[in-house]
Amino acid sequence: MFAADFEYRKAGSIAEAVQLLSDNPGAKILAGGHSLIPLMRFRLARPEVVIDIGGIANMKGISVSGDTINIGALTTHAEIASSADVQRANGLLAEAAGGIGDPAVRNRGTIGGNLAHADPASDWATVLTALGATVSAQGPAGSRTIAVADLIEDAFATVLGENELITTVSVPALAANQRAEYAKMAHPASFYAVVGGAVVVTMDGDRCTAASVAVGGLTPRPVKAPAVEQALSGTTLTMDSIADATARLGDDLSAAGVDIIGDVFASADFRSNIAPVEVKHALLHAIGLAHH
């Protein structure tokens, strides 16, 4: 399968990439290509101009500064999974990165490209929403910070302007009393998340003092679950209290006003029923009542 013909432009810097985007309306950014190339080959995308940012060195790499992990948008899933700094500062990031696709896909796919593509099945979107991560987006007017929770508007649609690109993803490190986990039901062939649930709980002994919960895969964009979070906060976490809290996920999905995705593999009904199970698994892992 061949993509439609396109003009190839290589950007040497972030500023040049922004300029090329401004000069070529409708152009697409090419990073690792693991979202864009399949779309182009199926002719679901037919950009006239493709801007390759793969060679921009200062968009790659990981640095930890204080309580924040800064990840260049071009950093691959494999680099994040194997980073000792990431493993130390936020184990969930490394674990989620290592669960995306397969080894060769992780060697090429990038965190920025994954978020900009905004696939409803993105593990990153769900995990980073729960973790309260932000992205820096560079446009002609400068850089702005967008919470990942606000970045994705709908399936394959973000709030990024036509001439903006994600340059950095910033993720809070986990505190010593915080536990974070992600559980997903993956499609057995593509490994895409059919349903994914990500949780961050702040603990005081056995008691949860604050919780952040997000689900994805079953919704066009990741959805936060305030009713579940509220039910967890101030509660001693047990099998029963976790089951009670996750039973409220249906309320959160209704309140979010999103369609539940259904397809030949998993109907909307099935996904709605699996979602609280995945959140429950993530919570049980987080407090050590279940193991991978």
Partner 1 sequence: MPNKVPITVAVNGRSHSAEVEPRTLLVHFLRETLNLTGTKIGCDTSQCGACVVKMNGVTVKSCTAFAVQADGAEVTTIEGLADGGNLTAVQEAFWNNHGLQCGYCTAGMIMTVTEIIERNPNPSAEEVRAGLEGNMCRCTGYNNIVRAALAAAAAGQGG
Nearest approach in angstroms of CB 11 to partner 1 is 13
Shorter beta-carbon distance to partner 1: residue 104 or 175: 104
Shorter beta-carbon distance to partner 1: residue 1 or 176: 1
Shorter beta-carbon distance to partner 1: residue 113 or 222: 113
| Beta carbons of 69 and 90 less than 8 angstroms apart | yes
Strand partners, 139: 142
Residue numbers of the site for partner 1 (CB under 8 A)? 1-8, 10, 30, 33-34, 37-38, 40-41, 50, 52, 54, 78, 101-105, 107-108, 189-191
Query: Pick from 57, 44, 8: which is nearest to 29 by CA?
Result: 8
Nearest approach in angstroms of CB 251 to partner 1 is 36
Shorter beta-carbon distance to partner 1: residue 33 or 161: 33
Shorter beta-carbon distance to partner 1: residue 6 or 270: 6
Proportion of the chain in helix, strand, coil states, percent, rounded to 5: 35, 30, 35
Q: Is 19 helix (H, G, I), strand (E, B) or coil?
A: helix
Calpha distance 232→177 (Å, rounded): 15
| Beta carbons of 106 and 98 less than 8 angstroms apart | yes
Nearest approach in angstroms of CB 219 to partner 1 is 24
Instruction: Give the torsion through C-alpha atoms of 75, 78, 80, 83, to 10 deg.
Output: -120
Nearest approach in angstroms of CB 86 to partner 1 is 17
Nearest approach in angstroms of CB 183 to partner 1 is 18
